[in-house]
Chains A and B, each alone.
Chain A
Amino acid sequence: MKENSICATRDLIQKKRIKVSEVLNNCLEIISRTEPKIGALLSVQEEQSRTLAMEMDRKGPDSEKPLWGIPLTIKDVICTKDAPTTCGSRILGNFTPCYDATLVSRLRRAGAIILGKTNMDEFAMGSSTENSAMQQTRNPWDLTRVPGGSSGGSAASTAAGQALGSIGTDTGGSIRQPASFCGVTGLKPTYGRVSRFGLVAFGSSLDQAGPIACNAADCAALLNVISGHDPLDSTSADLPVPDYAGSLALRNDLKGLKVGLPEQYWEGGMSPEVDSVCRAALEQIRSAGAETVQVQLPHSPHAVAAYYIIAMAEASSNLARYDGVRYGVRDDTARELPDMYCKTRSLALGEEVQRRIMIGTYVLSAGYYDAYYKKAAQVRRLIYHDFVQAFDACHLLCSPVVPFTAFHLGEKIEDPLQMYLMDIFTASLNLAGLPGMTIPAGLGRETGMPVGIQLMGPAFSEKLILQTAHVLEPYLPSLPRPAALNE
């Protein structure tokens, strides 16, 4: 997949060895071939993209624009001006924003072509993309399996080569888990690194957008562009943005790097094939020169419970805005306003979304607020302190991403609690607001499906995470083309 990378393509365009239109046509050809199989895209902006590509070819490459002519997809929870943004929900089935999210304007200014919008679990609530109200996305490695979620469309699309990269969002693992299931690289930045303006809110204190791409260098190139302070998001960090892409060349090995292995994660009940791929990756981390040390994250067994209380509480508040008044669908049968709210929401929100809104309402309601929401926020601080203490003993942490490889469509959808428990290795990081990255580490022996490994770091340590991933890549087995796309 390297030849289809952002960095390599950008260099070819800049040297005028290939035209933007040719790059775009190649993507469109792959889309027409793979999309009937994987169903990763909710919309394709084909005409606008073709016009833009031709205009770019007429002007010639602009070396000041780091993503000049690079076709990308965007998760459909991120607003794109004049292109549908459905959040995978019937309630926004006809919603077309009149503005771009800040990260989308930054990508456009850098010369990227926004080629399509990717499928997702409705409002990013899910771990398999099966909660999309629009369509079923399938894993490019095995069409009977899920791509993961909630950014399942972004991961599947990138794995299939439909575009050169994608922007997903991660509230409890929604970039890292599908990246692991689809054999691609995905980075959840530190909370506040990337502006959330124009990202339709699910859990406002947890949500963060980040890149999904073929390798660490491509993630760095995307992060360079989308990071930075935004006056339109009061939680965006007013800190300088390092040159992530440029800093990759500064490190050739992992000598002097201490990598912590959280005991609770490594002994956390992985399937044998995930365990074996992840342990082999650890050997490679040591071969590259790093030292590994065992560390403790003692409160991590409570992370999933704390995470779901907080995420559902925030969701119940955020999703109160879908009332059939300002945008989206309305049930027109109601004769009075409160009745219209209820009918519209029951008609057009999916069952998982309703489930989370209701549990969120419950944990915030009088009499239960202290027992659930406040308690979860206290446990959140303990989890945060666990990380702070762990980083006293090491520079980065390394762990599995998910306990198993991609499961079969329909296998877990009837049991919401089992689906939630899958976030065991990812949700803590969102509670603490820290950055984490999935790197493909190999294929599972039993299922033949991709397995990822996770690097986690202190706040705003994306540079070190990306450098480490970049050094590690040649040590890890390179994945073949996704099996199900071969025939």
Chain B
Amino acid sequence: MKIDEETVARIAVLARLEPTPEQIGRFARQFQDIIGYMNGLNTVDTAQVEPMYSPSENMSVMREDVCRKDHNRKDILANAPRHDEQYFIVPRII
């Protein structure tokens, strides 16, 4: 399938990115190459092959559900671009 500029613009919205028109043009050409290369996997017969999503399969790690305090609010907030010493502050949501 062809990756055109329209496709790139649509992916950008999903990825919360705003590429410039020039970047969209460049990405379309590069994605065509890269995804075209990835399409090579279609030559591999994978019928009946179970996907492998991680090298550590079937690991379900349980622990007691206990409260812990590892960090102080002040330390966590210190890295936030905006806060009021209690909460993260963000622009208008609705």
Contact = CB atoms under 8 A, between A and B. Distances in A.
Interface of A: 94-99, 190-192, 204-205, 231, 234-235, 237, 299, 302, 304-306, 308-309, 316, 320, 323-330, 332, 334-343, 345-346, 349, 351, 354-355, 357-359, 361-363, 365, 371-372, 374-382, 384, 416-417, 420, 431-434, 459
Interface of B: 7-8, 11-12, 14-19, 23, 27, 30-31, 33-35, 37-38, 40-42, 44, 46, 49-56, 59, 61, 63, 70-72, 75-76, 78-82, 88, 90-93
Nearest to B23: A351
B80 A326 contact: yes
A184 to B, nearest CB: 26
A112 B31 CA distance: 44
Given A336-B91, A354-B19, A433-B55, 12 more contacts: A97-B79, A190-B55, A192-B56, A205-B55, A234-B61, A337-B92, A358-B15, A361-B11, A372-B41, A375-B46, A384-B52, A432-B55
A361 B14 contact: yes
Q: Which 3 A-B pairs have the closest CB atoms?
A: A433-B55, A377-B51, A330-B81
A308 to B, nearest CB: 7
Given A378-B50, A417-B33, A357 B15 contact: yes
Contacts of A299: 44
A416 B41 contact: no
A389 to B, nearest CB: 15
Contact of B14 (A234, A339, A365): A365
B9 to A, nearest CB: 10
Does more than half of chain A's interface fall in helix, strand or loop, or is it mixed?
helix
A377 B90 contact: no
A365 B7 CA distance: 12
Residue of B14, B34, B49, B80 contacting most chain A CB atoms (<10 Å): B34
A411 to B, nearest CB: 17
11 contacts: A96-B79, A97-B79, A204-B54, A299-B44, A328-B81, A340-B90, A346-B17, A355-B27, A380-B52, A382-B46, A417-B33
Nearest to A334: B91
A358 B17 contact: yes
B92 A379 contact: no
A334 B33 CA distance: 34
Nearest to A329: B81
A98 B75 contact: yes
Contacts of A326: 76, 79-80, 88
Contact of B30 (A97, A374, A378, A416): A416
Contacts of B93: 336-337
A418 B41 CA distance: 18
B44 A98 contact: no
Contacts of A363: 38
A194 to B, nearest CB: 13
Nearest to A354: B17
B51 A374 contact: yes
